[in-house]
Chain A
């Protein structure tokens, strides 16, 4: 039998010099996901292919839940639809006990269709139409008011309605000591807007303030920011109780927990620097528990964690289309995975592993996507084993945002499969076809 072929490579050795790109990270090929052979998946469902591990979703969810439940008696997760709103994914979270957290009328409709009872849907986001608000009021959903225009529209809607109250919360933004401060969502705490909004709601007979919500940022590398946020939320809750004699039923701390992905520009690997679920839970629950609520008045703690619950469960499988040499002698590898389906490559250095055996030889390469666009690079520089045409690769931790922010640009979006906890593979989103796209188009008569 002839030996396996590997493209010839030569690497200049620079003894003693710093390598700013770090050393290689891939030592073994990734040939299986949850014991299902990657080669079989790609043979059956094509390339590129998104793969979601149901087992990983459930394990991660349970880990997060445990971190909070062991510290605080009343915890509720609400699945952040925008992070991944494929119905199959949402249903796994709903089966685990998650409510739905939506940020648009579209997502709201999806949650309803997924069978989530209206009163277990949290409606966030700055864009709620009049129709959206009416629907949310009728379904007894929790409306998280983002701005005064929305508050006044809701007051106007409620004036026309009898025998029904809107269940609302306000979204609060605040200085938690991190940069950048997220102040575009909700009402500001420090300048008194949040309190003004609460006072306005108190004065409305048909608005029922049920909770307080904040979303302090995304990919929060310090758990302490949540402690600061929780303290300010508790301050507001106490002020509300002192004014009205009533207590808010819940504090919603939003999302923003990190996944183990590595941010671009980060010197260390993401997994080495991110806080754990326990760190976040400790910061939040300790603050609330020590604030002085009576045990029977402790608010329900709601979490809208998205990224940290789903990123690790998502894989993107792809194929090498070509290898070439750049003007400065560096290797370039062209994959069929582009930024159109991997939006997160704009801010993460995703881990990429070969899916077949390789030798110990490595080379620095740029990983390009298939788009006819210069910015279509998913890794500007990475030390990879030698790849050749038709080799397969696995991109890790792509479960969050890629299957919602993906673009239909130049090509169509690929199949998405889910491997269930028994190892069965299910197609959960079909590959788009030309018809998927052109069926929405209308050509005027005179142009036909």
Chain B
């Protein structure tokens, strides 16, 4: 799973998609996940990173990550490649 080409992500959570002109705002956890996706980490690795970074149990991490990824997909910000 990768972030689409040309998607701009700022450190404070502003996202711009130059293809569609859409812009988005994500929170700190969202930025954390997007950065990992940009670094082409696997889902399993991102899960582990989340739990290393925050006080978090596996179930919540998995549920929240899946939900976030589905939203990124619906906004066409990531691809399955």
Contacts and interface: CB of A to CB of B under 8 A. Distances in A.
By secondary structure, the A interface counts as loop
Given A325-B67, A388-B60, A389-B60, A6 B29 contact: yes
Contact of B71 (A329, A361, A386, A389): A329
B75 to A, nearest CB: 7
A12 B30 CA distance: 13
Contact of A6 (B22, B23, B28): B28
B64 A11 contact: no
A22 interface: no
Contact of B26 (A5, A9, A389): A9
Contact of B24 (A7, A11, A386): A11
Nearest to B32: A8
B23 A2 contact: no
A12 B53 CA distance: 26
A19 interface: no
A10 interface: yes
Interface size class of A (residues with CB under 8 A): 20 to 34
Given A2-B54, A3-B53, A10-B72, A386 B27 contact: yes
A329 B73 CA distance: 11
B16 to A, nearest CB: 9
A373 interface: no
A10 B15 CA distance: 9
B25 A10 contact: yes
B55 interface: yes
Given A359-B27, A361-B27, A386-B27, A8 B33 contact: yes
B68 to A, nearest CB: 4
A11 B72 CA distance: 10
Contacts of A329: 71, 74
By secondary structure, the B interface counts as helix
Contacts of A386: 27
Interface size class of B (residues with CB under 8 A): 20 to 34
Contacts, number: 69
A217 B24 CA distance: 47
Nearest to B29: A8
Contacts of B55: 2, 4-5
A444 to B, nearest CB: 47
B68 A10 contact: yes
B47 interface: no
B65 A8 contact: yes
Contacts of A3: 28, 53-54
Given A325-B67, A325-B70, A389-B60, A11 B25 contact: yes
B20 to A, nearest CB: 10
B70 A10 contact: no
A13 interface: yes
Interface string A103-114: 000000000000
Contacts of B72: 10
A5 B56 contact: yes
Contacts of B64: 7-8, 388
Contacts of A13: 22-25
Closest 4 CB pairs of A and B: A5-B54, A361-B27, A8-B68, A8-B30
Given A2-B54, A7-B60, A9-B27, 10 more contacts: A3-B53, A4-B54, A6-B27, A8-B32, A8-B33, A8-B68, A10-B26, A10-B72, A329-B74, A388-B60
